[in-house]
């Protein structure tokens, strides 16, 4: 099990956990609520950078329920006001101010005092807002919601709002969030019945878990990358950090394998060898001279020919890991080559892109990481066995191994463009070369690093006017930030 991950709990499990941790003691709950409020504010202000940042005179709406979610939202608004003294906060107490539970009432008093005339209670939401914080219902909500509450959410959802944030869960599945900030515990309904309205999910680690707690559904934390951000041994050399081989490319899809190689070069691997169609080598070597380029005989259509197998066989004993697939195409001869390579390989494999075929993924005895998107997974699902580490790419990428599923909350729509999977394959391959006996570790680190770099790219340049290879320039920043990011 990856200890830099925390269990995802059902609502009942979360209730039992919180009862055991706090025991209903407000003296223990209040510091946790303050911590949650600060964490929400810090995270949403970071996410706001993807659309240009929170404005100095921003307008904030808080939808506050009776309990802890309302308190978290009120304290988050207070933290936003502390950062932006010219901002204003309006609070709608959905069930009235007089029914607030003690800690939520305390949070409101603190916000009102800190904000003075900048934080006011209002009866209804009107006009445009920069930020809306949904803190109405928590995980103990039992449907149905009252008709007037349904109408309130419908009205708020229709307003022009730049960022819509939900605390823990989008209330009753009615609030339409851009982000859901799971404070301390990621609850399973966020990934199931509330998924359609949750937007992007952020897990905010409040220190509730050590990482060794049991759980078959888990969420990754940035700490999974911490060893990569630390010191390297004084006595190391290039062979210390593994040698990754990459087999791929074709004249029809030349860019994919180049992106994969460039990502492997950034992964920390000591050596990278790329075996690609011979016509591509001169241009590719000029663009990535740090890799060793081996020209492979081509089919008439520009794919990898069977006759080149000896080029790999003669070198493979030097490899720590092998990535196969980016840019291969689907020529029959090339896929026959893929079957031969996977059958005979002794080093751990990353099987990606067009190499992900039902008659390929189960061949041979080498450990393997499979990296399908949804369509590729449908193609190979019946052939995947327990030996494989499965990376299911999607809006929340999941890594499955040994009956445990790890969820990555990192990344976002900036990754929804061609080439992001090729970069991921190269990263995972380079990491696998460094830890060839731990394919699961390589997979979760690659997914987390890829996603954190995407977040950093989006904060710097937005989600739209970027290209996939810009991810490479944000890998160093993501690695350094991983040691302190919440």
Q: What is the mean pLDDT of residues 271-276?
A: 98
Q: Cα(282)–Cα(73) distance, rounded to whole angstroms?
A: 57
- Residue 482 is predicted with a pLDDT of 84
Q: How far is CA 358 from the centre of its chain?
A: 27
Secondary structure (3-state) at 398: strand
Quick check: 485 pLDDT over 70?
no
Instruction: Say whether the peptide bond before residue 144 is cis (omega within 30 degrees of 0).
Output: yes
Question: Contacts for 205-208 with beta carbons within 8 Å, 24 or more apart?
Answer: 205/6, 205/486, 206/32, 206/35, 206/36, 206/39, 208/6, 208/17, 208/21, 208/184
Q: Cα(157)–Cα(174) distance, rounded to whole angstroms?
A: 9
* Contact present, 424 and 447 (Cβ < 8 Å): yes
Q: Cα(87)–Cα(74) distance, rounded to whole angstroms?
A: 14
361-to-16, 68, 353, 358, 373 alpha-carbon distances in Å: 42, 48, 12, 6, 15
Residue (of 137, 115, 133) closest to 125 by Cα position: 133
Report pLDDT digits (tens) over 50-79. Answer: 999 999 999 999 999 999 999 999 999 999
0.75 surpassed by pTM: yes
Task: Select the CATH number that applies to the domain covering 5-49+56-216 from these four: 3.40.50.10260, 3.10.20.600, 1.10.630.10, 3.40.50.1000.
Answer: 3.40.50.10260
| Average pLDDT over the chain, rounded to an integer | 96
HSE, side-chain direction, 13 A CA sphere, residue 323: 41
Domain 225-481 has CATH 3.40.1190.20: yes
Quick check: 481 pLDDT over 90?
no
User: What residues have CB less than 8 Å from 221, skipping those under 6 apart?
Assistant: 4, 5, 6, 203, 205, 211
Among 22-31, 82-91, 138-147, 180-189, which is the least confidently predicted range? Answer: 138-147
Secondary structure (3-state) at 358: coil
As given in the structure block, the two tokens for residue 118 are: 């900048």
User: What residues have CB less than 8 Å from 338, skipping those under 6 apart?
Assistant: 324, 325, 328, 355, 357, 360
For the chain, domain boundaries = 5-49+56-216, 225-481
Quick check: 486 pLDDT over 70?
no
């Amino acid at each position: 099990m990856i200890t830099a991950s925390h269990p995802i709990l059902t609502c009942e499990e979360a209730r039992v956990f919180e009862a055991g941790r706090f025991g209903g003691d407000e003296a223990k709950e209040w510091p946790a609520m303050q911590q949650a409020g600060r964490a929400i504010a810090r995270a949403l202000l970071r996410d706001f950078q993807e659309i240009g940042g929170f404005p100095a005179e921003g307008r904030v709406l808080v939808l506050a329920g009776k309990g802890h979610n309302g308190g978290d939202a009120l304290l988050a608004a207070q933290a936003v006001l502390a950062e932006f003294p010219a901002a204003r906060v309006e609070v709608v107490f959905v069930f009235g101010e007089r029914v607030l539970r003690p800690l939520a009432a305390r949070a409101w008093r603190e916000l009102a005092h800190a904000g003075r005339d900048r934080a006011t209670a209002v009866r209804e939401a009107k006009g445009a807002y920069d930020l809306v914080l949904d803190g109405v219902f928590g995980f103990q909500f039992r449907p149905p919601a009252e008709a007037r509450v349904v109408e309130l959410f419908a009205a708020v959802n229709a307003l022009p709002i730049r960022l819509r944030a939900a605390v823990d869960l989008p209330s009753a599945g009615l609030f339409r969030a851009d982000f859901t900030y799971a404070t301390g515990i990621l609850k399973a309904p966020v990934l199931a019945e509330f998924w359609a309205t949750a937007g992007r999910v952020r897990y905010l680690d409040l220190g509730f878990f050590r990482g060794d707690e049991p759980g078959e559904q888990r969420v990754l934390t940035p700490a999974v990358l911490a060893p990569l951000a630390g010191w390297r041994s004084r006595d190391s050399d290039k062979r210390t950090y593994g040698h990754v081989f990459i087999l791929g490319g074709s004249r029809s899809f030349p860019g994919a394998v180049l992106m994969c190689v460039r990502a492997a070069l950034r992964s920390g691997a000591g050596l990278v060898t790329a075996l690609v169609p011979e016509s591509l080598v001169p241009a590719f070597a000029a663009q990535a001279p740090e890799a060793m380029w081996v020209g492979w005989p081509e089919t008439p259509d520009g794919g990898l020919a069977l006759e080149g197998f000896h080029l790999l066989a003669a070198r493979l004993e030097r490899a720590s890991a092998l990535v196969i697939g980016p840019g291969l195409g689907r020529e029959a001869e090339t896929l026959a080559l893929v079957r031969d390579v996977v059958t005979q390989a002794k080093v751990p494999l990353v099987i990606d892109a067009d190499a992900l075929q039902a008659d390929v993924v189960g061949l041979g005895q080498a450990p393997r990481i499979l990296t399908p998107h949804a369509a590729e997974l449908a193609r190979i699902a019946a052939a995947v066995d327990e030996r494989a580490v499965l990376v299911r790419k999607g809006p929340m990428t999941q890594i499955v191994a040994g009956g445990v599923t790890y969820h990555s909350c990192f990344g976002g729509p900036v990754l929804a463009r061609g080439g992001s999977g090729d970069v991921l394959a190269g990263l995972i391959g380079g990491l696998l070369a460094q830890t060839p006996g731990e394919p699961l570790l390589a997979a979760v680190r690659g997914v987390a690093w890829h996603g954190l770099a995407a977040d950093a790219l989006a904060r710097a340049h937005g989600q739209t006017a970027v290209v996939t290879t810009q991810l490479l320039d944000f890998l160093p920043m993501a690695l350094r930030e991983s040691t302190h990011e919440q």
